[in-house]
Amino acid sequence: MKKLTALVLFVSLFAIQDVFAQVNIGYTNPARILSQLPEVEEIDAEIQALIEQRDQELGERAAQLQQEFSNYEQSMTALSEQERSTREQELMEKNQQFEQQREVMMNEIRQKRAELMAPVIERMNVAMDEVAQEMGLDLILNEGTSYGDSIIFFAKSERLNVTDEIIEKLN
């Protein structure tokens, strides 16, 4: 029994020592890193061109749909109840198709951006890993959310900010 207690105490001392071991942490601002990379500017330009193209297509489709609604409103007094109901149903379906097309285009743009950014994000992650290894960091925190909002945290020293080191690795 004493041997078992001694063994448990001995193992517990090692476990407690690991708990109190110092964790080296740094933090970074990925948005700032990405803003410094020329390929991100190129990706943004490509995505902006795609957005403008899709906006033009949707604008033309919206104008066409609006014209059909106007034509219906002008001719609705001459239509029978059955014809009005049928025409309204057709217009509702066309409007629903338009909304679906708009959603598909938005998803296409998001997917294209993610596809183009994937290699850039991978390069940034590799650079972050290299900086962590070189500086002996166990963890690198993100200074903001994926939406660009700041996360409230306290850093005792600016030397914990490894953003510049990561940018240097990428350039």
Q: pLDDT digit string (tens) for 64-77?
A: 999 998 998 888 88
Q: What is the pTM of this model?
A: 0.69
Over 50: is that where the pLDDT of 52 sits?
Answer: yes
Residue type, 57: E
Of 14, 12, 27, the C-alpha closest to 128 is 27
Query: Can you tell me the distance from the alpha carbon of 30 to that of 36, in angstroms, rounded to the nearest whole number?
Result: 10
Tokens of 96: 């629903």
Q: Compare 114 and 1 and report the one with higher pLDDT.
A: 114
Of the listed ranges 9-18, 64-73, 116-125, the least confidently predicted one is 9-18
Mean pLDDT of the chain: 84
Mean pLDDT score, 127-155? 81
At 135, the pLDDT band (50, 70, 90 cuts) reads very high
User: Which residues fall within 8 angstroms of residue 145, CB to CB, at 6 or more apart?
Assistant: 151
